[in-house]
């Protein structure tokens, strides 16, 4: 059986703000600030959604879940990831693998990494081994290094059965 393979890359950035919870990968992480955004501002999940949509050549999260839609105000990004997974499956794609990285100085992500991986894998309907996640600092450089926000990047590999004759 032959498969069509595609990769997708996602990038997202959100600024820290007061009086919001910090949600990363569907997990609330203790911190003195959260992230600004129309939804819950889960920068990790947003980068992953963009990677999936990009691999499908289906636009980006702004097209599918615009920040001008009042019904999405404060919505859980994990709910939107589930909808993105539905779109992926409806188009005949499945996730082979995802790898993600967070760039931030604080808080430390290590204690929450496995829980985030499990949350993401559950929404994407894959085994946790298919979701990689790591964090890095920027050694004090740039907006992340100054503690102004968080950057997330994600790369995914999708596959679907080939529609070529004989496949």
48-103: pLDDT as tens digits: 999 999 999 999 999 999 999 999 999 999 999 999 999 999 999 999 999 999 99
The pLDDT, as a whole number, for residue 167 is 43
Indicate if the pLDDT at residue 159 is higher than 60. Answer: yes
Query: Which CATH number describes the domain made up of 3-161?
Result: 3.30.1330.50
The domain limits of the chain are 3-161
- Per-chain mean pLDDT for the chain: 95
3-state SS of the chain? CCEEEEEEEEEEEEEEECCCCEEECCEEECCCCEECCCCCCCHHHHHHHHHHHHHHCCCCHHHHCCCCCHHHCCCCHHHHHHHHHHHHHHCCCEEEEEEEEEECCCCCCHHHHHHHHHHHHHHHCCCHHHEEEEEECCCCCHHHHCCCEEEEEEEEEEEEECCCCCC
């Amino acid at each position: 059986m032959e498969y069509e393979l595609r990769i997708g890359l996602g990038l997202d950035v959100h600024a820290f703000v007061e009086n919001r919870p910090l949600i990363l990968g569907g997990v609330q992480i203790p911190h003195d600030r959260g992230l600004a955004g129309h939804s819950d501002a889960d920068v990790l999940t947003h980068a992953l959604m963009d990677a999936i949509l990009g691999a499908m050549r289906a636009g980006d999260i702004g097209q599918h879940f615009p920040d001008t839609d009042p019904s999405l105000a404060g919505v859980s990004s994990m709910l939107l990831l589930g909808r993105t997974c539905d779109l992926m499956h409806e188009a005949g794609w499945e996730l082979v693998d995802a790898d993600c990285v967070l760039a931030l100085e604080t808080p430390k992500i290590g204690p929450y990494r496995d829980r985030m991986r499990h949350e993401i894998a559950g929404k994407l309907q894959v085994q946790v081994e298919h979701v990689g996640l790591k964090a890095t600092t920027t050694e004090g450089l740039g907006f992340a290094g100054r503690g102004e926000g968080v950057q997330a990047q994600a790369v995914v590999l999708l596959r679907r059965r080939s529609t070529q004759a004989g496949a």
